[in-house]
Amino acid sequence: MPIFYNPEIKIFTLQTQNTTYQMKVGDYGYLLHLYYGAKIGENDDLSLLAYPLERSFSGNPNEAGYDRSFTIDTLPQEYSMFGSGDFRSSCLIPVNPDGTREADLRYVSHEIESGAAAPQGLPHVYDNGGEAETLKIHLQDPVSHLAVTLVYTVFAARDAITRYAVIENKTTGRVELEKALSACLDFTHGDYDVITFWGRHCFERAVERTPVRHGKIVADSLRGASSHQQNPFMILCDHDATETAGDCWGMSLLYSGNFIAECEYDQIWQTRLTMGIHPHAFRWVLEQGESFTTPEVAMIYSGEGLGELSRRYHKLYRHNLCRGQYKTSRRPVLINNWEATYFDFDDDKLVKIAEDASKLGIELLVMDDGWFGKREGDTSGLGDWFVNTQKLRGGLDSLCRRINALGMKLGIWFEPEMISEDSDLYRAHPEWCLRGPGRAGVRSRYQFVLDMSREDVRQYLFDVISGVLSSANLEYVKWDMNRHISNIYSGALPAEKQGEVYHRYILGVYDLMERLTSAFPHVLFEGCSGGGGRFDAGMLYYTPQIWCSDDTDAIERLSIQYGTSFSYPISAVGSHVSAVPNHQTGRVTPLATRGIVAMSGTFGYELDINKMTAEEKEIVKEQVARFKEIYSLVSDGDYYRLTDPFKNTNYTAWQFTAPDQSRALLNVVQVKMEVCPVNFLIRLRGLNPGARYCVQAAPLNATQRFEHEGTVYTGAALMNAGLLIPLLKGDYAAVQYEIIQL
Ligand code: DGJ
């Protein structure tokens, strides 16, 4: 039983294998947060961590009379609320029927249930059976009667706790929510750094670490998508936390739209993290009896540094968030025609690519943008999901049969949420765009956004996409989204509900994804948004892999994939070998290096294989065979970041270790060749210290010989003394070592 309640001291203790979360029903019924960190006993009473003390300019509840010691302005709160004395960041701002902007939530009751809770219509971490227990704490404002239920699910073996809130209008009239966040996490002590993940198109999830300072540090998106620019994930850690040591707390939002993640450092050096839907341009109307459910946050603590924090997220998301047959079965090695042909392709060209690819062991051809409507470039066609028979002369089924005859699967690209002005759909339904009355609308990549909050729009998309998927043996879908949302307005909603449109849009996307993934369970869905613009835990619930970035340069990918790995499993990272000179950077990297980098992901190719030399094709064949062989190590193994590409610009190294420690894979890319180089001494991690391991270079490196061939070391030697990587020749050279227990 991971959830304990001690009625005498009114303390809730949530236990996972290595962590404890504690809260208390304090004076006057306020729910106070006490502790989140390394494991303590369920009978430990940490009430003193929330010791009341008089604070000037901090108010006191009226019931306290003239006792000035109790103030929710400085005591740690479980779900901070506006208007009743806490001047720090609030989770909840309601406008009550009488116009007051105030919530004063007090404990009413609680219940404990087995299994995981599921926020309605939203992605969530789930229980595979007997893994989870849920606590629901009911709070209510005694004056307005607005009710809030805080829902916590404990995944003990995964060291994870998820939480969300349900706000129910039990008042006498209409309530409008101006802010309804998912979670608040207060720390009464500590000296911390905050880590956020920022970026831009082709440069996603760069790691930014900064000391917490008085005031607020915010990561957010107002783009209608979780975005390339900031990711809905935040880490708080000790100043001196490293990959292998120190306290770290992660908060990951399972949501793909506007979000805010905020770290506030208050007047008495206390830290508050809050996370949820961004309150800007948000206003949710709750009629009497209606309720609003926030997205879920997954919280993980690690006392063993950032590496362990990431590994815990990887396991949670691999086993309890990703779904479908490809959660466990091996994903096909694919070849995508985008960088090979862009819009300039036809069925014969695709078959020719597939002919060469199939001989090298590649299993899936993905037909990217351009197969439908009038789509010769990116100015037209979106919305018209009908086969362009000038390109696919025999139709989709015929193409599919030709690809299947080569022993390959066929996949297809959609951008369901978008519409081109030059499309039959736009001509028939201009009112289906998000756009205010009388406004022409902002174009981005020449396109507008469909109003996904509308049921009729979703029904059209479901019918037309289902029609395509049923018309041929299609086994993969790439779901793209290539612009952000402006002109937010839905023609289907009254003026007073326009503050709901951003969130209703995301609920609509989730609804359509749920319907399509359920209707086509054999299809592998890959998420995408101009690369990794919607790489978030919400999307992972529907698509077990997401295209990580439109930047396919192997050297640039080192830092993009590094940042992505902090919260998302390697099995989710869409990564391909592309041509050189690289289309985005012009950089020329060896094929072996491109292979090694792409293998730390879902693995595939994105180039014109027909243009490769016989020698290159041999290398591709070797890489494909190699990836299939190491697949389980990459997708289920423990991932270790051995260097930080933002700091070490000479080389980047990372490792996978099998859960039973019998095998590991060490990858090293030399980013910069120097005449008189620094030593590349790499200490491995996660091995069995007493076991003996044989070290050998993987066959991928046929062109270079490496020392350590067949040398035997103990795990202790490899982890403490380390491996000295021999000099690699040339910029961007790479090596992959296999470490096998004898
Ligand atoms: C953006 C994606 O990230 C690319 O891979 C490609 O699918 C293009 N869109 C097609 O328009």
The CA distance from 255 to 501, in Å, is 15
Whether residue 269 contacts residue 213, with contact meaning beta carbons closer than 8 Å, is answered with: no
Q: Which of 732, 670, 733, 730 is nearest to 701 (CA)?
A: 733
Q: Which domain holds residue 660?
A: 651-741
Q: Kindly report the protein residue whose alpha carbon is nearest to atom 10 of ligand 1.
A: 369
Ligand 1 centre from 578 Cα, in Å? 14
Q: HSE on the CB side for 93, CA within 13 Å? A: 15
Per-residue pLDDT tens for 510-554?
A: 999 999 999 999 999 999 999 999 999 999 999 999 999 999 999
H helix or E strand, kind and range, residue 682: strand 680-682
Q: Which atom of ligand 1 lies at the shortest distance from residue 531's CA? A: 3
In a domain, 682, yes or no: yes
Q: Which atom of ligand 1 lies at the shortest distance from residue 550's CA? A: 3
The reply to whether ligand 1 has any atom less than 6 angstroms from the CB of 531 is: yes
In a domain, 117, yes or no: yes
The reply to whether ligand 1 has any atom less than 6 angstroms from the CB of 336 is: no
Q: If you average pLDDT over every residue of the chain, what do you get?
A: 96
In a domain, 54, yes or no: yes
Pocket test of ligand 1: the residue of 547, 551, 560, 606 to mutate, having most ligand atoms within 8 Å of its CB, is 547
Return the sign of the alpha-carbon dihedral for residues 7, 10, 11, 12: positive
Is-catalytic flag, 615? no
Whether residue 11 contacts residue 107, with contact meaning beta carbons closer than 8 Å, is answered with: no
Does residue 670 register a pLDDT over 80? yes
The CA distance from 563 to 565, in Å, is 5
Q: Which of 265, 83, 270 is nearest to 177 (CA)?
A: 83
The reply to whether ligand 1 has any atom less than 6 angstroms from the CB of 369 is: yes
Q: Kindly report the protein residue whose alpha carbon is nearest to atom 11 of ligand 1.
A: 369
Q: Which atom of ligand 1 lies at the shortest distance from residue 529's CA? A: 3
pLDDT at 725: 84
Ligand 1 centre from 369 Cα, in Å? 7
The reply to whether ligand 1 has any atom less than 6 angstroms from the CB of 338 is: yes
Pocket test of ligand 1: the residue of 339, 368, 415 to mutate, having most ligand atoms within 8 Å of its CB, is 368
Tally of domains in the chain: 2
Per-residue pLDDT tens for 263-307?
A: 999 999 999 999 999 999 999 999 999 999 999 999 999 999 999
The reply to whether ligand 1 has any atom less than 6 angstroms from the CB of 547 is: yes
Which tokens in the block code for residue 302?
A: 């690690």
Q: Which atom of ligand 1 lies at the shortest distance from residue 378's CA? A: 11
| Share above pLDDT 90 across residues of the chain, in percent, rounded to a whole number | 93
Side by side, which strands form the sheet with 604-606? 573-574, 545-547, 524-527, 474-479, 409-414, 364-367, 334-336, 604-606, 576-578
- pLDDT class of 704 with cuts at 50, 70, 90: low
The reply to whether ligand 1 has any atom less than 6 angstroms from the CB of 528 is: yes
Does residue 702 register a pLDDT over 60? no
SS3 (DSSP) at 262: strand
In a domain, 689, yes or no: yes
In a domain, 517, yes or no: no
**Which of the listed residues 298, 320, 342 is the one where a domain comes to its end?**
320
Ligand 1 centre from 602 Cα, in Å? 17
The reply to whether ligand 1 has any atom less than 6 angstroms from the CB of 530 is: yes
Q: Which of 206, 311, 305 is nearest to 249 (CA)?
A: 305
Is-catalytic flag, 397? no
pLDDT at 499: 98
Q: Which atom of ligand 1 lies at the shortest distance from residue 413's CA? A: 7
The reply to whether ligand 1 has any atom less than 6 angstroms from the CB of 276 is: no
Per-residue pLDDT tens for 15-39?
A: 999 999 999 999 999 999 999 999 9
The CA distance from 108 to 148, in Å, is 10
pLDDT at 430: 97
Pocket test of ligand 1: the residue of 335, 366, 480 to mutate, having most ligand atoms within 8 Å of its CB, is 480
Beta bridge partners of 478: 413, 526
In a domain, 184, yes or no: yes
Residue 685 belongs to domain with CATH number: 2.60.40.1180
**Which of the listed residues 289, 320, 351 is the one where a domain comes to its end?**
320
Does residue 603 register a pLDDT over 80? yes
- For 343-382, where are the E strands, in sequence order? 364-367
The reply to whether ligand 1 has any atom less than 6 angstroms from the CB of 550 is: yes
H helix or E strand, kind and range, residue 185: strand 175-187
In a domain, 534, yes or no: no
Does residue 590 register a pLDDT over 70? yes
* 44, 344, 616, 629: the active-site residue: 616
* 536, 551, 622, 636: the active-site residue: 536
Q: Is the pTM of this model over 0.85?
A: yes
Residue 58 belongs to domain with CATH number: 2.70.98.60
Q: Which atom of ligand 1 lies at the shortest distance from residue 606's CA? A: 5
Ligand 1 centre from 462 Cα, in Å? 21
- pLDDT class of 706 with cuts at 50, 70, 90: low
In a domain, 55, yes or no: yes
The CA distance from 681 to 717, in Å, is 12
- pLDDT class of 675 with cuts at 50, 70, 90: confident
The reply to whether ligand 1 has any atom less than 6 angstroms from the CB of 133 is: no
**Which of the listed residues 278, 303, 320 is the one where a domain comes to its end?**
320
Per-residue pLDDT tens for 493-516?
A: 999 999 999 999 999 999 999 999
Task: Please provide the DSSP assignment of 577-644 as one string.
Answer: EE-SS-TTT-----HHHHHHHHTTTT-EEES-GGGS-HHHHHHHHHHHHHHHHHHHHHHHSEEEE-S-
Ligand 1 centre from 405 Cα, in Å? 27
pLDDT at 705: 54
Q: Which atom of ligand 1 lies at the shortest distance from residue 368's CA? A: 7
pLDDT at 301: 98
Q: Kindly report the protein residue whose alpha carbon is nearest to atom 9 of ligand 1.
A: 530
Does residue 368 register a pLDDT over 90? yes
